[in-house]
Amino acid sequence: MEVRTAVSPKDVKHYTTDRLREEFLIQDLFTVGKIKMIYSHIDRIITGAAVPAGDALRLTVGDELRADYFLQRREMGIINIGGPGEVCVDGKNYSVAHKDGMYIGKGAKEITFFSRDNENPAKFYFNSTPAHHSYPTVLIKPEGEPGEGIVIVKPENKVELGSLELSNHRTICKYILPGQVESCQLEMGMTKLEAGSVWNTMPSHTHDRRMEVYLYFDIPEDAFVMHYMGEPTETRHIVMRNEEAVISPSWSIHSGCGSQAYTFIWGMAGENQDFDDMDAVENKVLR
C-alpha cells in the first residue's frame, strides 16, 4: 500500500507538473490479478482496485493500518466498472454486475473478489474510510428490484443536471449517502456525461468539511480529461487518461473538461454527509 501525506495549498501553488501528478494523480490501479491501494493522509481515505482473473483475490490488511483485519476500524464502498463478478463478505456471496455497487460495514473480516469471466474480468474500484459504527453490508444496483441485502438507487438520487448548450449535460447517480445506504462518513456515486458534453461539476465548488476522490473512466485511448484543482484563484490542471484517479483536498476545486464525454466515480470522506454542503465558486472568480 502506497502512503501519501497531506499537502498545503501554499505549497501546491509552487509545484511543477511532475510534482503535482506525484502528489495527487493515481495511475495503474487496475492491474490484472492484483489489489492495489493508495492511503492518503487527507481524511485517511484509501483508494484501491481489485481485478481478479483466475484465482480469487483476498483483501488483506497491511502494516500501515495497525489492525487485525482491513475493516476492523473502517468501512468500504465498491463500484464495479468491469465484467460481472462476485464479492464474498464473511462467507456470503454478492453478485456484482457492471456498474453495481456495494457498501461493506465496519467489522467485516473476510472479503474476497472473484471474476465470472477471466477474459472480461471484474474491475472492483473502492474507497475506504475510518468508521466508528457498523452499518449493514448491502449490494447497490442503479435499477432493478429490491431484495434482501439489495438496495436500488432511489429516483430522487438520480439527478439530471446541466444542458448540452453549456456542454455539461450529465446524470448523477448517488450510491452511498444518508437516507439510502447509511455509512459513518463515506459517500460515493457515479456521474455520466451525455454525448456532446465535456464539463463536470461546473460551476465548480469546494467543501471544507470533506475531501473527494475522482476516478475517470469510459475514456477512449486517444482521449483525455483535463482535471482542474487548486484554490479558486490559484488553479492548476492534471491531464488524466482512462481509469486514473485523482485526490482532491477539501480546499481545492475539483472539476474536469474532457476531449469527449466520459464517466467518473466520486467518493467523499469527512465530517459532514450533507451532499449539498458546498461552497460555490462563481466562474468569474476562477483564475
For residue 238, pLDDT over 90 is answered with yes
Average of per-residue pLDDT values in the chain: 96
- The grid coordinates listed for 275 are 451532499
Q: What is the mean pLDDT of residues 253-281?
A: 93
The strand ranges marked E within 14-104 are 25-26, 35-40, 46-50, 57-58, 74-80, 85-89, 92-96, 101-104
pLDDT tens-place string over residues 241-256: 999 999 999 999 999 9
Q: What is the mean pLDDT of residues 17-44?
A: 97
| Residue 24 pLDDT | 98
pLDDT tens-place string over residues 82-124: 999 999 999 999 999 999 999 999 999 999 999 999 999 999 9
For residue 272, pLDDT over 90 is answered with no
For residue 276, pLDDT over 90 is answered with no
For residue 146, pLDDT over 90 is answered with no
- CA separation (Å) from 57 to 84, 90, 212, 271? 15, 14, 26, 32
| Residue 274 pLDDT | 87
If you count DSSP H runs as helices and E runs as strands, how many of each does the chain have, helices first? 2, 25
Q: What is the mean pLDDT of residues 137-161?
A: 94
Q: Coil, strand, or helix at residue 250?
A: coil
Tell me the whole-structure pTM to 2 decimals: 0.96
Burial of 148 (0-12, 13-18, 19+ CB in 10 A): exposed
Q: What is the mean pLDDT of residues 47-62?
A: 95
Confidence at 258, pLDDT banded by 50, 70, 90: very high
For residue 39, pLDDT over 90 is answered with yes
- CA separation (Å) from 114 to 54, 95, 98, 107, 179? 8, 9, 13, 21, 30
Cis peptide before 203 (omega within 30 of 0): yes
For residue 48, pLDDT over 90 is answered with yes
pLDDT tens-place string over residues 181-215: 999 999 999 999 999 999 998 889 999 899 999 99
